[in-house]
Amino acid sequence: MRAIRRFTVRPVLPAELTALGDLAGNLRWSWHPPTQDVFRAVDPGVWERVHHDPVRLLGAVGRARLEALAADDEFRHSLESTRADLEAYLTGERWYHRRGGDDAPRAIAYFSPEYGITAVLPQYSGGLGILAGDHLKAASDLGVPLIGVGLLYRHGYFKQSLSREGWQLEDYPVLDPQELPLVALREEDGTRATVAISLPDGPDLVARIFVAHVGRVPLLLLDSDIEQNPQHYRDVTDRLYGGTHEHRLRQELLLGVGGVRALRAYSRITGAPEPEVYHTNEGHAGFLGLERIRELTVAEDGPQLDFDTALEVSRAGTVFTTHTPVPAGIDRFPRDLVAAYFGGTSPVPGVPVDRVLALGSEDFEGGDPGVFNMAVMGFRLAQRANGVSLLHGEVSRGMFNGLWPAFDEAEVPIGSITNGVHAPTWVDREIFSLAADHGLSADDQDVEGFWDLADKIPSSELWDLKRRMRRNLVSDARGRLLRSSLKRGFSAAELAWIDSALDPDVLTIGFARRVPSYKRLTLMLSDPERLKALLLHPERPIQLVIAGKSHPADDGGKKLIQEIVRFADDPEVRHRIVFLPNYDIAMAQPLYPGCDVWLNNPLRPYEACGTSGMKAALNGGLNLSILDGWWDEWYDGNNGWAIPSADGVADPERRDDLEAAALYDLIEREVAPRFYDVDEDGVPTRWIEMVRHTLRSLGPKVLATRMVRDYVRGLYAPAAGTARSLNSDFHGAAALATWKKRVRAAWPDVCVDHVQATGVGDDPEVGATLSVHASVALGDLTPDDVDVQVVHGVTTSEDVLVDSTTTSMTPSERGEDGRYRYEADVKIEQSGAFGYTVRVVPHNRALASDAELGLVAAPPG
């Protein structure tokens, strides 16, 4: 018989064990091995059976066992010590407090559509979510006052399995919030805190608020699956990245608009400070800016600002991070659909629909006037923006140059902060144990110095460590392969070979990621016979551990997975290559340490960052990668290998063939020989030297703590400073909005009439000084409104300035009709082709860059 109703009964812990509930309720346990050890000690068998989930563990352990633990002095001492450590972590002084400074934001809101924190909270699909989870964890370790905002998906993303034929199958198990490490946010009277947004097709969409405690960082997750909503509203938070355009639009309205309202409820209920800075992790949460504008334009208990002033208030404190290097990765909605949602019963009543549509309009050359672009809106609603690696910043400036068409690509105001990964989550605990044996410890606030272990640990111990981690991976992979094969329909009698699948002493290469076409999962299959020869080499074999999910709607990606699975099913090679389904955090944690080499072969430059290789590097793995994302930035010739990229080849099949051949050559001629070249003690000394160099050179760079510090210094603190200067009484924002309107109106009359230069003859030399004079018409503007600049530097044969520098000119006299004479001296610092020009750009101390308004006046021609 089926139950007519289902609910979860929470365990009642003995008074002596209440600390277990405290530890289970804070996700710090997911990256803190001593806390995991406490839960393992509760019942090792149950701990394994519930897949290391403390909430399920406490619900599954019997009363008798709990009473026995309550009477166990040794266990109680360990429990209390661990709870005291958590309390010290939550309340002690961290980096952010020691940093001090008046520019420190009191609170920062971080919006993301997905968060990868632990496998027991499956609210992520891939790199974006894992990055968001690592961002929160590192902020917690550093004491940065972050508040996360996201959605709670009833089915998460999906669980992946395989058919007998190797086709990806999706399963969507229902997640019960009562069985997850979450608490409901409640009002003072005990009722559930909720938010509501108006939608055009019915009653208000209502969502309750759950809180996940990620160390010191609260993560607010909105859930629309409540009884008072009609079914189509309950389904808004059904699954990650699914459904129609309209379904996705509703999700993103709830995330952005509802997320801001959830923040307000959280601050009101808990007394937490209101955020000063709002960080939008990708465009999915971009509607948060509209809600902040609504708050200011229809405020019930404060000044009601006009739209332009409210826009400046909102922009000043907003940071936008773009993660995609491909236009197809951006959410773009039909313009008519957005107009329908904001033109009637709007989620942000009082915000004019025409202004909303203008923010997401592709009103630039090559744009589509029929769509509403969430990334474009993200840039227009944020004063500061960044990509996630140096190369990705460059790619993003090219992608979005149309928003600032008057400026060269290099001056588009999109910077870069390279992603990082959270070492305590991803570094194998055996590495920390080995380091501790040699007197090294890793402070969870700052593990940069930890990488001194590279020079202090003998080669033989490093090699033994990698062998143990490889052995752990082989054991884990065999178990997953057996379960997968049984689920595919193979009988146990057919699967005896799995006991010898993979070899703990064979060079192990890992490849695991999402499976869009540009990541080229099957590049390794370009020449199947050559791959077989590498796998089965008699002296220097390799083995491949592969994992990855394709989006449920992407049949092309599923076909790539099927190709890999069919190849791996071949009895000739199945002991050397495995595809493991359902790639998630739990699989990744033994995978990265157990691999000797991490393979990444995207179609350059479509990998925004690619943090999986960073996790491998922190575990002594060597990267074998196309020079894309972070690897393009930090590859130095000794910390791995760069696969040559055939960037100039137009035929994609030809390009794949060339790059695959280069991959095979590197493995055959460089990677495998170095791995198997051992000394008399069986240690591959040249390989270990590369491992040492990887730990030294990449260890400090690839950390999420470094990344979060970069955000604090480069984006959060400056954003808070600008927001305070504009918004203390809103006069600054009103003045800036008025100034922008005046500058835009007057700009058609701004021009550079005449430029002349003296000081260099026909044969100028390095060190010469070029004196530049310009006559500039400013119309109704004044010199205080502009910056007149000499732009100078290296030129191409077509007289295009590259690698240029700007020098501000000084007004020397005023002429008639709004004309001014400007002058500046430029010292010529380098030889070769040199050129210069003069331009005028708007100038205001409240602007984040010269390009913010997208206006430039230059000499004619």
Query: Which of the four pLDDT bands, split at 50, 70 and 90, describes residue 633?
Result: very high
Evaluate if residue 760 carries a pLDDT over 90.
no
Per-residue model confidence (pLDDT) at position 48: 95
Q: Which residue has the higher pLDDT, 202 or 140?
A: 140
What is the token pair recorded at 619? 């575990």
Burial (CB count within 10 angstroms: exposed 0-12, middle 13-18, buried 19+), residue 494:
exposed
In the chain, the percentage of residues whose pLDDT exceeds 70 is 97
pLDDT score, position 20? 96
> What confidence score (pLDDT) does residue 380 get?
97
Instruction: Answer for the pair 281, 323: CB distance below 8 angstroms, yes or no.
Output: yes
Percent of the chain at pLDDT exceeding 90: 85
* 446 pLDDT above the threshold of 70: no
User: Would the pLDDT of 7 be above 60?
Assistant: no
Q: Which of 670, 663, 622, 421 is nearest to 522 (CA)?
A: 663
Please tell me the distance from the alpha carbon of residue 432 to that of residue 411, in angstroms, as a whole number: 43
CA distance 10 to 27: 18
CB proximity list for 494: less than 8 A, separation 6 or greater: 485
pLDDT in the model for residue 314: 96
What b-and-e string marks burial along 689-717, b requiring 16 or more CB atoms within 10 Å of the CB?
ebbbbbbebbbbbbbbbbbbbbbbebbbb
pLDDT on residue 444: 58
The enclosing H or E element of 316 equals helix 307-316
**Helix, strand or coil for residue 689?**
helix
Burial-class residue 461 by CB neighbours within 10 Å (0-12, 13-18, 19+).
middle
Quick: pLDDT tens for 102-140.
889 999 999 999 999 999 999 999 899 999 999 999 999
Q: d(Cα 589, Cα 603) in Å, to the nearest integer?
A: 26
pLDDT (0 to 100) of residue 453: 75
Task: Taking residues 769-778, report their average pLDDT.
Answer: 94
Could you check whether the bond before residue 605 is cis, i.e. omega within 30 degrees of 0? yes
Q: Are 76 and 41 in contact (CB under 8 A)?
A: no
Would residue 840 be called left, alpha or beta, if left means φ above 0 and alpha means ψ between -120 and 50 degrees? beta
**Which distant-in-sequence residues (6+ apart) come within 8 Å of 806 by Cβ?**
789, 790, 791, 792, 850
H/E segment holding residue 836? strand 834-842
DSSP 436-472: HHTT---BTTB-GGGGGHHHHS-HHHHHHHHHHHHHH
- Is residue 447 very low, low, confident or very high in pLDDT (cuts 50, 70, 90)? low
Phi, psi of 170 (to 5 degrees): -115, 140
Q: Is 200 left (phi over 0), alpha (psi -120 to 50) or beta?
A: alpha
Is residue 577 a contact partner of residue 570, using CB atoms and an 8 Å limit?
A: no
Q: What is the 3-state secondary structure (H, E, C) of 117-185?
A: CCCCCCECCCHHHHHHHHHHHHHHHHCCCEEEEEECCCCCCCEEEECCCCCEEEECCCCCHHHCCCEEC
pLDDT (0 to 100) of residue 435? 83
| pLDDT for res 35 | 97
Predicted pLDDT at 8: 55
Tens digit of each residue's pLDDT (9 = 90 or more) over 206-235: 999 999 999 999 999 999 999 999 999 999
- Evaluate if pTM is beyond 0.85: yes
pLDDT at 442: 62
CA 659 to chain centre: 27
Q: Is the pLDDT of residue 445 over 60?
A: no
pLDDT at 575: 97
> Which pLDDT band holds residue 326 (cuts at 50, 70, 90)?
confident
Nearest one of 860, 854, 859 to 405, comparing CA atoms: 854
Tokens describing residue 398: 């090219």
Cβ count near 519 (within 10 Å): 20
CA nearest to 136, candidates 272, 256, 28 = 28
Integer Cα distance of 26 and 284 in angstroms? 27
Question: What is the per-residue pLDDT for 505?
Answer: 96
The pLDDT value recorded for residue 799 is 78
- How far apart CA 412 and CA 322 sit, in angstroms, is 14
Lowest-confidence pick of 55-64, 799-808, 819-828? 799-808
Tokens read off for 431: 């590495």
What would the two tokens of residue 756 be?
A: 């002349």
With a cut of 80, say whether residue 450 has pLDDT above it: no
Identify the DSSP state of 189: T
Helix (H) or strand (E) holding 510: strand 507-512
- The predicted model gives 610-625 an average pLDDT of 96
Residue count (the chain): 861
Dump pLDDT digits (tens) for 254-283: 999 999 999 999 999 999 999 999 999 999
> Is there a contact between 342 and 358 (Cβ–Cβ < 8 Å)?
no
The three-class DSSP label of residue 413 is coil
- Sequence-distant (6+) residues with CB within 8 A of 553 are none
Q: Are 286 and 374 in contact (CB under 8 A)?
A: yes
DSSP 218-248: EEEEEE---TTS-HHHHGGGSSTT-S-HHHH
| Predicted local confidence at residue 5, as pLDDT | 52
CA distance 509 to 597: 5
- Asked if residue 441 has pLDDT above 80, the reply is no
